Amino acid sequence: MEITIGDTLFTLHPSGAIFWPDQKMVMIADVHLGKISHFRKFGSAIPQKAIETNFNRLSVVVSYFNPDKICFLGDLFHSTLNSEWGMFEAWVKNQSSTIILIKGNHDIISPSLFSKLGIQIERELLINQFLLTHHPEKRDGLFNFSGHIHPGIKIRGTGRQSLSLPCFYRQPNQLTLPAFGAFTGKFLVTPKNGDAIYAITEDEVIEI
Amino acid sequence: MNNNELFHIADSWFKNQAWKPFPFQKQVWRAYLQGKNGLLNAPTGSGKTYALWVPIVLDYIKNNPDYKCKPHKGVLAIWVTPLRALSVEIKNSTERFVDEIGVPLTVGIRTGDTSQKERAAQNRSLPNLLITTPESLQLLLASKGYDKKFRSLTSVVTDEWHELLGSKRGIQMELALSRIKSIAPNLRIWGISATIGNLDQAREVLLGTGSKAYENSVLIKAKIKKKITVKSIIPKKMEIFPWRGHLGLHLLEEVIPIINKSKTTLLFTNTRSQCEIWYQKILEKHPELAGEMAMHHGSINKKTRVWVENAIRDATLKAVVCTSSLDLGVDFAPVETIIQIGGPKGVARFIQRAGRSGHQPGKESVIYFLPTHAMELIEASALQQAVKAQKVEDRIPYLNSYDVLVQYLTTLAVSDGFYPEEIYQELITTFCYQSLTHDQFGWILNFITLGSQSLQAYDEFQKVEIEEDGRFKVNNRGVAMRHRLQIGTIVSDAVLTVKFLKGGYLGSIEEWFISKLKPGDVFTFAGRNLELFRIKNMQVLVKKSKQRASVVPSWMGGRMSLSSEMSQLLREELYAVAELLNDREEYALDKPDVLEKINAKPLSRELKSLMPIFKRQVKESIVPAQSQLLIETFKTREGYHNVFYPFEGRFVHEAMGSLLAYRISLLTPITFSIAFNDYGFELLSDQKLDMQQVLDNDLFSPQFLKSDLEKSLNATEMARRKFRDIAVIAGLVFTGYPNKLIKSKHLQSSSQLLFSVFKDYEPGNLLLQQAYTETFEHQLEEGRLQIALDRISSQDIIWKACTKPTPFSFPIITDRLREKLSSEKLADRIKRMLISLEKL
């Protein structure tokens, strides 16, 4: 699904990624790599197959958009170093795009390890009038892309039906991305007037 | 000493107390001294403690002729009670006996409340009689060298076995006993149970299916029958539309004279929120009761609860509003009257509560029934019959609970480690795991050692290790510590402690409730109106508030279902009414003399008082008779209501509702939300349902039941909820260190999320499958559903298209907790929801 912000065009992908055609850049928030291995290390037997899913999903998005740049909006790696780092290294080596990480609260792994892989680490990124951060921020005159809150939306209909889905959450000067990772929860948001919600279903993004 | 001489010791002690042993007590003594195992069926307050403690001591005397001078070392008997509160009472009784006959045996308690210091002392040397809980017993199995400590055991007594039987705590007992049997060669196993429908099975579960212990066992019944009088409080004015959730407060004034008339009255409510509200409202209307009234429920801080219990015993309270927290436990002699607010849903629970009053032998128990809505009067009428016939429910034991097994095996690995083949042989003699295959056992072993079924590269999974000699052992101290903190099978929601800003602990409250409040909001808790100041470090800090209006927390898990026995009795009551009403000639309700005629019928007072409601019900619909299943349809602003009345209890209705919704959705793309109560269920949709099509397609067929149920979305949602407990019990979710702000935040995750991950990536996982099995067997009560469908297939279906909601439908359609089922594509559903939103 395509949206415009100002007069800039963006594509919202059902995986939760955003593509920015002018910059040839993909933005992805909250992958939380390493979370499953971290749980396993502490005796909680989460299925290992879910680990592969994260990497498969990343590869699907990258091959679909074929971007020059991939920008992770924080919480790329959930925990301290563990075996998933090795898989991540392998994945990075296969990429031709430039990879940028905007540091999130979960990213506690030493920046030097990221640098070694050629990943650029930033506190935030300003491109034209667009500000890319991990935590949502409001700054005058800028439009902010962020992650961190894992937005989800609950929809109600007649017959007292309800559904909850991950979503892109757009406020007047802000757009928060859904969490990309396979083993992440969501936080239900309550949209105000003037907000927009783009919910994710299996193969479609639907504006609500 | 021979048995006669031994009995003489006991008899003369009884004589000194001016007591006479009951026949059942003597029966147990004899059986015990003959070396038998068994189950004693006796109610609370009947002297059951002495039925078993006496022969344990006599047996000790017999085997230790020099008992007077030489104190015994090590533990002789373990007494397991499900309720910590009972342990002091048991300790006092047992100590009294040994002290007075001069046997130097020590008695000690070990529960979650036992101090660290006392535990340490016990670890050096256990008391001769150890009174403990199933959880604490498991913790003993998690300590090093437990086998040496337990070798000297001569008996394990499980008190209130009926309470444990239908729960996973019961499995913990089965497992602990299977282990102890192998360790202690001279072990006798006994249980004490109140009356339940399946006493014989209860004995089998306790002793182990096909075990030697079971072969050498007896069932002894106390046969003490109590007279119970049930009196319904019937409202003077009958509402035609019986709303759900009225809490029964409109009958508050009727309760006051009852309270004033008796020494102490217990008012049982079904939920903690109802308890809070009733307490508040009585005090509001009758401030003169302040100081003489108290409240008791599971979320109130323990000190207060103990104070209340003592005050009841000392007869300093006129009335106590309580929940099932006072169902069990110590005898309260001063309690003369019980008031049950709202339907108790089960016969056993009702009789148990009635039995809390009039404890002295020969005295009758009086229980008042206060209906919260008019329909519950039918229940009251059914209860009268039930009490007469002593029709008590079964407690269904669990089978193949892999979660408890995972926990147990880890427990053994934490202490001294275990060898799988030895443990497997013990497991298959338990009731729960009698059909456990080698494959399943192997799966569990892989699960705790590899965290999956095959070894994979770069995996850091860490829990149980296999040592060189084949011993399964936990060597990581972190794993061991986290496991010990998590032993137990009672899983509660995340709870926060409620404290005054100035200090002073009030109790604990579920996180999901408090998270809905903002600072400054006022809520009612522990009988007070409190203003939320802030939430910090898992603590809710509050101030007293003078504001009167407030929110009352509702606690999850308060919803109970009618038992099948109750449902059956309920239907019989209705059939009696239907027979009357269907005879329209003679009993036309607008005839002037009809009330006299009805009064002459052998109907209960309760049913007679409901006549105005039945009258409104038959205006557009019917009261179904034995051969009929009633369906009503009507339209309101909320959509198209389709209401079905099988009268089978809410759990069966939940299942039947989703089953029918699923089958209908195969005929046409449609989305339902499903509501249900004990009388029937409703399928609500925004589209009109072609009911004739439903009837023509024989959708109530009992064929393909399981596969259809499984496919309904509902089963998945229910399994998701079941999985929450399973995940915690099996140690997949770490619930944190006690009273510590979770440092392990990276380890926290919702079990919801876990369920989705397992469902997507490891559908064959036994724990995941267990969630479904539990859903079908324990939640949906598949067996009962099958029987209900068979019954329906022999009934005529009566479909009434009504213009307005009927009295029967009202409690159902106003229910806000709903399930949903849809056969439409997600995107279509959203699009349609949006269209209808625009219309508004």
B216 burial (CB, 10 Å; 0-12 / 13-18 / 19+) is: middle
Strand segments, DSSP code E, in B180-311 are 188-193, 217-221, 228-232, 264-268, 293-296
Q: Provide the mean pLDDT of chain B.
A: 84
pLDDT score, position B330: 61
Residue B782 has pLDDT above 90, yes or no: no
Q: Which of A36, A160, A203, A206 to mutate to test the interface with B (most CBs of B within 10 A)?
A: A160
User: How confident is the model over B802-809, as a mean pLDDT?
Assistant: 89
pLDDT score, position B840: 38
Cβ pairs A/B, distance under 8 A: 129
The H or E element containing residue B778 is none
Which chain A residue is nearest to residue B840, measuring alpha carbons?
A158
Q: Which residues is B220 bridged to in the sheet?
A: B40
Contact B818 A160 (CB under 8 A): yes
pLDDT score, position B596: 67
Contact B731 A44 (CB under 8 A): yes
pLDDT score, position B742: 44
Compute φ and ψ for B90, nearest 5 degrees: -65, -40
Tell me the residues of chain B between 655 and 714 that have a Cβ less than 8 Å away from chain A.
671-673, 684-686
In tens, the pLDDT along B571-629 reads: 998 998 888 877 666 556 666 666 666 666 677 888 888 888 888 888 889 999 999 99
B829 touches chain A (CB under 8 A): yes
Tell me the residues of chain B between 366 and 425 that have a Cβ less than 8 Å away from chain A.
none
A53 touches chain B (CB under 8 A): yes
Which segments of B17-126 does DSSP mark as H helices, in order?
23-33, 48-63, 84-101, 116-124
Which chain B residue is nearest to residue A165, measuring alpha carbons?
B826
pLDDT score, position A124: 93
Which chain B residue is nearest to residue A200, measuring alpha carbons?
B827
A196 touches chain B (CB under 8 A): no
pLDDT score, position B816: 55
Contact A185 B753 (CB under 8 A): yes
The pLDDT confidence band at residue B745, using thresholds 50, 70 and 90, is very low
In tens, the pLDDT along B53-80 reads: 999 999 999 998 888 877 888 899 999 9
Residue found by looking up tokens 């007590």 in the block? B25
B734 touches chain A (CB under 8 A): yes
Which chain B residue is nearest to residue A208, measuring alpha carbons?
B834
Contact B832 A157 (CB under 8 A): yes
Lowest mean pLDDT among A160-174, B545-559, B636-650: B545-559
pLDDT score, position B743: 40
Listing DSSP states for B101-143 in one string gives HT----EEEESTTS-HHHHHHHHHS--SEEEE-HHHHHHHHTS
Residue B488 has pLDDT above 90, yes or no: no
Q: Nearest CA of chain A to the CA of B87: how many Å?
A: 35
pLDDT score, position B30: 95
With beta carbons under 8 A apart, name residues in chain A contacting B733.
Answer: 44
pLDDT score, position B750: 67
Q: Nearest CA of chain A to the CA of B173: how many Å?
A: 25
Q: How far apart are CA B299 and CA B556, in angstroms?
A: 12
Residue B748 has pLDDT above 60, yes or no: no
Q: How far apart are CA B424 and CA B435, in angstroms?
A: 11
- Helix B272-285 vs helix B252-261: angle between axes, to the nearest 10 degrees? 80
The pLDDT confidence band at residue B682, using thresholds 50, 70 and 90, is very high
With beta carbons under 8 A apart, name residues in chain A contacting B829.
Answer: 157, 161, 163
The pLDDT confidence band at residue B157, using thresholds 50, 70 and 90, is very high
pLDDT score, position B454: 74
pLDDT score, position B319: 93
pLDDT score, position B377: 87
Q: Nearest CA of chain A to the CA of B169: how many Å?
A: 22
Residue B24 has pLDDT above 80, yes or no: yes
- Helix B23-33 vs helix B3-16: angle between axes, to the nearest 10 degrees? 150
Lowest mean pLDDT among B70-84, B442-456, B735-749, B771-785: B735-749
Of B463, B818, B832, the CB nearest to A43: B463
Listing DSSP states for B477-528 in one string gives HHHHHHHHHH--S-----EEEEEETTS-EEEEEEHHHHTT--TT-EEEETTE
Residue B552 has pLDDT above 70, yes or no: no
Q: Nearest CA of chain B to the CA of A72: how many Å?
A: 20
Q: Of residues B510 and B313, which shows the higher confidence score?
A: B313
Name the amino acid, one letter, at B264: T
Q: How far apart are CA B235 and CA B248, in angstroms?
A: 10
The structure tokens listed for B744 are: 């392990």
Q: How far apart are CA A25 and CA A43, in angstroms?
A: 38
- What are the structural domains, with CATH classification, of chain B? 3-221 (3.40.50.300), 228-389 (3.40.50.300), 399-491 (1.10.10), 495-544 (no CATH), 621-840 (no CATH)
Contact B829 A42 (CB under 8 A): no
Length of chain B: 840
Contact A208 B753 (CB under 8 A): no
Listing DSSP states for B711-734 in one string gives HSHHHHHHHHHHHHHHHHHTTSS-
pLDDT score, position B508: 76
Residue B412 has pLDDT above 90, yes or no: yes
Q: Nearest CA of chain B to the CA of A167: how many Å?
A: 13
Contact A83 B460 (CB under 8 A): yes
B636 touches chain A (CB under 8 A): no
Residue B730 has pLDDT above 80, yes or no: yes
Of B686, B731, B750, the CB nearest to A157: B686
pLDDT score, position B741: 42
Q: Of residues B511 and A206, which shows the higher confidence score?
A: A206
pLDDT score, position B512: 61
pLDDT score, position B594: 63
Q: Nearest CA of chain B to the CA of A68: how many Å?
A: 31
Lowest mean pLDDT among B598-602, B675-679, B830-834: B830-834
Assess contact for A28 and A180: CB atoms under 8 A.
yes
Contact A161 B820 (CB under 8 A): yes
With beta carbons under 8 A apart, name residues in chain A contacting B518.
Answer: none
Residue B274 has pLDDT above 70, yes or no: yes
A192 touches chain B (CB under 8 A): no
Among positive and negative, which fits the CA dihedral B70, B74, B78, B79? positive
Spell out the per-residue pLDDT of chain A, length 208, in tens.
Answer: 899 998 999 999 999 999 999 999 999 999 999 888 888 888 888 888 888 889 999 999 999 999 999 999 999 998 788 888 989 999 999 999 999 999 988 888 888 999 999 999 999 999 999 999 999 999 989 999 999 999 998 887 655 556 778 999 999 999 999 999 988 888 888 888 889 999 998 788 988 8
Name the amino acid, one letter, at B8: H
Lowest mean pLDDT among B414-418, B491-495, B655-659: B491-495
In tens, the pLDDT along B312-363 reads: 888 899 999 998 878 776 667 788 899 999 888 788 888 888 887 776 666 7
User: How confident is the model over B121-125, as a mean pLDDT?
Assistant: 86
pLDDT score, position A175: 95
pLDDT score, position B557: 41
pLDDT score, position B759: 86
- What are the structural domains, with CATH classification, of chain A? 2-207 (3.60.21)
Contact B734 A87 (CB under 8 A): no
How distant, in Å, are the alpha carbons of A179, B160, B494, B516 from that of B533? Answer: 32, 42, 20, 14
Of B460, B752, B830, the CB nearest to A208: B830
pLDDT score, position A10: 96
- Helix B766-774 vs helix B713-729: angle between axes, to the nearest 10 degrees? 120
Contact B732 A45 (CB under 8 A): yes
Work out the angle at residue B450's Cα, subtended by the Cα atoms of residues B458 and B724, and round it to the nearest 5 degrees. Answer: 110
With beta carbons under 8 A apart, name residues in chain B contacting A57.
Answer: none
Contact A82 B752 (CB under 8 A): no
